[in-house]
Amino acid sequence: MIDEIILFPSPGIWFLLPPKNSWCRPTPRWIKLNVNGAWLEICNASGIGGLFRDALGHTFFSFSLPVGSCSAPSIEFLAIKQGIYLFKDSKWFSKYNLVIESDSAATISWVKNPSKAPYCLMNLVLVTGL
């Protein structure tokens, strides 16, 4: 199951779309951020990553970072958060809208209702201002 968040350059305007079965290109003037998180049980470590692509499928930029040990939905949220920060600081923020695609229904529910986020991430969810 894949959920999407649409974030406009105007703060606080986003929508949750129905699940998609496969990756779809964004429409022109949009950038799609695909995020993912991973956890390796054997060493209790996790990491996040994201890929920004345009309507032609061209990669604008990508990121990957270690984030220590946390739950799968927490890892996914951190990937979304990092992607939003990178997008807001990029030259594309004033030119494009952003669609965020995630495979974590729990993370999307935190975006829709921050009070449902785990206590340990509550401040991160609220500070991010998703």
pLDDT for 86 equals 92
Q: Considering only the top CATH level, what class is 2-128? A: alpha beta
Domain coordinates in residue numbering, the chain: 2-128
Q: Of 70, 31, 35, nearest to 49 (Cα)? A: 35
| Interacting residues of 13 by C-beta distance below 8 A, sequence separation 6+ | 7
pTM of the model: 0.77
Residue scoring higher pLDDT (126 or 109): 109
pLDDT in tens, 10-51: 443 344 454 566 678 888 888 888 888 888 878 788 999 999
pLDDT for 62 equals 96
